[in-house]
Amino acid sequence: MNYLAHLYLAKRDPGLLVGGFLGDFVKGQLNGEIPHNIERGIRLHRAIDRFTDHHPLMPACREVLPKGSRRVSGIIIDVVFDHFLALSWADFSEIDLAAFDRETFERLLAAETRPYFPSVALNMCLQMQARQSLLRSLDPQFVETSLVSIGRRLRRGDRYFSAAQVAEIHARWPNLRPFFDEFFASTLVFVDNWCTNSTLKTQD
């Protein structure tokens, strides 16, 4: 799951939202240096990532991709599934995607949460706000550009994310779409159960 999915799955809960964004930037053991509600969001982010990595549909998703792309299949699936979520947004949210993009970054960048952002996370958040990255997940060209950009940041990323390879990946999107629908339905159930169990543990 990529940014749009993690932030949507935070259910507009402030702590889960911030933790959902920071999950890719805060590594290692959580020891109480961050407020509990944000740590809980980071834990949820990590739980979603584990759920995704071990989901029984993932091997079939990887088989859809070009053979030369399978070493980075997790990255590709995360980004493309965000695009599918954006396309289906009205099925999952009562507010439109433009409003979600705007409100999410306003909450993430609020004065009371900024101190908990590592500098690299804050810079990324500001860039995504300026680009309206969540809203632009709707745009296939933006998704392709995002994959090429990821390739530039990875060591030897040009092996997997050249313009030609990204175009070949794009051609496989229709074959991935049915997997997204089933996968995301199961993810919603997983997150609901995780949040319920996490709340019960906190109350014990």
Give the pLDDT score at 203: 45
Give the pLDDT score at 140: 96
Does residue 159 sit within a domain?
A: yes
Does residue 202 sit within a domain?
A: no
| Nearest by Cα to 5 from 83, 72, 64, 107 | 83
Does residue 201 sit within a domain?
A: no
Does residue 80 sit within a domain?
A: yes
Give the pLDDT score at 204: 39
Give burial (CB, 10 Å; 0-12/13-18/19+) of 97. Answer: buried
Range of 10's domain? 3-193
Structural domains counted in the chain: 1
Does residue 200 sit within a domain?
A: no
Give the pLDDT score at 154: 83
Give the pLDDT score at 2: 94
Does residue 63 sit within a domain?
A: yes
Give the pLDDT score at 157: 77
Does residue 204 sit within a domain?
A: no
Give the pLDDT score at 151: 86
Does residue 107 sit within a domain?
A: yes
3-state DSSP of the chain:
CCHHHHHHHCCCCHHHHHHHHHCCCCCCCCCCCCCHHHHHHHHHHHHHHHHHHCCCCHHHHHHHCCHHHHHHHHHHHHHHHHHHHHHCHHHHCCCCHHHHHHHHHHHHCCCCCHHHCCHHHHHHHHHHHHHCCCHHHHCHHHHHHHHHHHHHHCCCHHHCCCHHHHHHHHHCHHHHHHHHHHHHHHHHHHHHHHHHHHHHHHHC
Q: Please list the pLDDT of the chain residue by residue as tens digits (204 residues).
A: 899 999 999 988 999 999 999 999 999 999 888 999 999 999 999 999 999 999 999 999 999 999 888 889 999 999 999 999 999 999 999 999 999 999 999 999 999 999 999 999 999 999 999 999 999 999 999 999 999 988 888 877 778 888 889 999 999 999 999 999 999 999 999 999 999 998 656 543
